[in-house]
């Protein structure tokens, strides 16, 4: 390569324009550097996914619902800016809690946690919640579990879809689970036992001997089939953890069970982790290309930072592009 091959486009210093829209700001941030540029690229890639008939998976980890991201997720589900959600159990549990009309509270990380314990307040960094209200949500889920058929297994998708429908009747407002149930957006939870949902069902089992059974392996098969049937796929990772790995591995499973798959075509991660610790949560999409999880020529970006900053701005900018996605062809799933 020659020098001019490397120097094709100058950095354009960001100009403050009074009243600029979020989409205009993000468009111009493509010409700056570091994570500001990456945030802009994430927005551009998401638009491309929406225009290219990709099946869009979103992986959700971290305490995003307590942090106030729930209605953004509802917006993404309702407007079909995503097609499948894979989540930690905690975010879904907190969604149940809020849909039942309860709150998380503005708190502080500088508190006496022993005093909070005595007052029945649970802390999530700078956010509080009332312990006994969580117990009520546990009870709600246990009651729902009681209504299920213990002679068969449920995929987490079916379990969560049924829970969403029930909650649609009982809840005080729309939530992630209710909207997904209504819109037919599947939700998977690969470690469902590892959350208050698991706790609620363990109580049900311990106290009443009634055990809800999950079809863990069918979750794996179904998501691999979704990838096989897709024209192409896009992935968005809010945090890492189980949801990221679960969506990444769909490509591996799909290739083994006979799909002609070549890795996800579009990939975004919003992460506070770093590659040098060696874990999956912080690893680059380049690393994922060696595994065949991400396509060789994928459009991909990692945005380092907190999703509570990135998501409000990206989603707001997407909302300004309704003409791109309002008539989007939505993938149909065969389950």
From the CB of 159, what's the least distance to a second copy, in Å? 11
Q: Which pair of structure tokens corresponds to residue 221?
A: 């098969």
The C-alpha angle 222, 225, 230, rounded to 5 degrees, equals: 130
Cβ distance to a second copy smaller for residue 55 or 223: 223
From the CB of 331, what's the least distance to a second copy, in Å? 20
Tell whether residue 75 is a contact of a second copy (CB under 8 A): yes
Residue from 51, 53, 101, 111 touching a second copy (CB under 8 A): that is 111
Q: Which of the residues 14 through 53 are near a second copy (CB under 8 A)? A: 14-22, 25, 29, 31-37, 39
Cβ distance to a second copy smaller for residue 53 or 297: 297
The alpha helices in 52-195, defined as continuous H runs, are 70-78, 89-99, 113-119, 131-146, 156-170, 176-183
Angstrom distance (rounded) from CA 142 to CA 15:
54
The C-alpha angle 251, 252, 255, rounded to 5 degrees, equals: 85
Tell whether residue 9 is a contact of a second copy (CB under 8 A): yes
Tell whether residue 209 is a contact of a second copy (CB under 8 A): no
Q: Which of the residues 168 through 207 are near a second copy (CB under 8 A)? A: 190-196, 198-199, 201-203, 205-207
Burial (CB count within 10 angstroms: exposed 0-12, middle 13-18, buried 19+), residue 63? middle
Cβ distance to a second copy smaller for residue 1 or 169: 1
Point out which span in 7-15, 164-172, 179-187, 323-331 binds a second copy (CB under 8 A): 7-15
Cβ distance to a second copy smaller for residue 53 or 309: 309
Structure letter (DSSP) for residue 69:
I
Residue from 220, 230, 236, 261 touching a second copy (CB under 8 A): that is 220
Q: Which of the residues 115 through 154 are near a second copy (CB under 8 A)? A: 115-117, 119-128, 130-131, 135, 138, 153
Is 293 considered catalytic here? Answer: yes
Q: Which of 114, 164, 115 is nearest to 141 (CA)?
A: 164
Largest CA distance in the chain: 73
Q: Which of the residues 285 through 324 are near a second copy (CB under 8 A)? A: 286-287, 289-292, 296, 302, 304-306, 308-313, 315-316, 319-320, 322
Q: Which pair of structure tokens corresponds to residue 331?
A: 């993938």
With a CB cutoff of 8 Å and minimum separation 6, the contacts of 211 are: 150, 201, 204, 205
Tell whether residue 84 is a contact of a second copy (CB under 8 A): no
Catalytic residue, candidates 231, 293, 296, 326: 293
Angstrom distance (rounded) from CA 199 to CA 160:
15
Tell whether residue 275 is a contact of a second copy (CB under 8 A): yes
Catalytic residues: 293
């Amino acid at each position: 390569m020659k020098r001019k091959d490397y120097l094709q486009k100058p950095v354009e210093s960001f100009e403050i324009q009074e009243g600029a829209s979020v989409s205009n700001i993000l468009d111009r941030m493509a010409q700056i550097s570091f994570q500001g540029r990456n945030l802009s690229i994430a927005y551009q890639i998401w638009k491309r996914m929406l225009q290219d008939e990709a099946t869009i998976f979103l992986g959700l980890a971290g305490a995003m619902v307590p942090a106030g991201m729930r209605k953004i997720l509802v917006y993404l589900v309702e407007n079909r800016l995503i097609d499948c959600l894979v989540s930690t159990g905690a975010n879904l549990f907190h969604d149940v809690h809020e849909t039942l009309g309860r709150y998380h509270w503005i708190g502080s990380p500088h508190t006496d946690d022993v005093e909070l314990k005595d007052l029945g307040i649970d802390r999530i960094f700078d956010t509080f919640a009332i312990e006994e209200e969580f117990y009520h949500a546990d009870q709600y889920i246990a009651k729902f579990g009681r209504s299920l058929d213990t002679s068969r297994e449920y995929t987490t998708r079916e379990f969560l879809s049924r829970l969403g429908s029930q909650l649609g009747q009982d809840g005080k407002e729309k939530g992630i689970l209710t909207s997904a149930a209504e819109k037919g957006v599947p939700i998977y939870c690969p470690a469902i036992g590892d959350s208050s949902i698991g706790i609620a069902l363990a109580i049900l089992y311990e106290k009443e001997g009634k055990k809800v059974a999950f079809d863990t392996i069918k979750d794996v098969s179904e998501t691999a089939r979704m990838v096989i049937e897709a024209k192409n796929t896009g992935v968005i990772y809010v945090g890492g953890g189980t949801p990221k790995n679960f969506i990444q591995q769909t490509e591996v499973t799909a290739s083994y069970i006979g799909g002609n798959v070549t890795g996800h075509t579009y990939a975004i991660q919003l992460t506070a982790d770093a590659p040098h610790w060696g874990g999956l949560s912080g690893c680059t999409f380049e690393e994922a290309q060696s595994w065949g999880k991400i396509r060789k020529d994928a459009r991909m970006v990692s945005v380092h930072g907190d999703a509570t900053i990135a998501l409000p701005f990206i989603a707001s900018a997407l909302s300004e592009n309704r003409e791109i996605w309002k008539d989007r062809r939505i993938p149909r799933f065969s389950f």
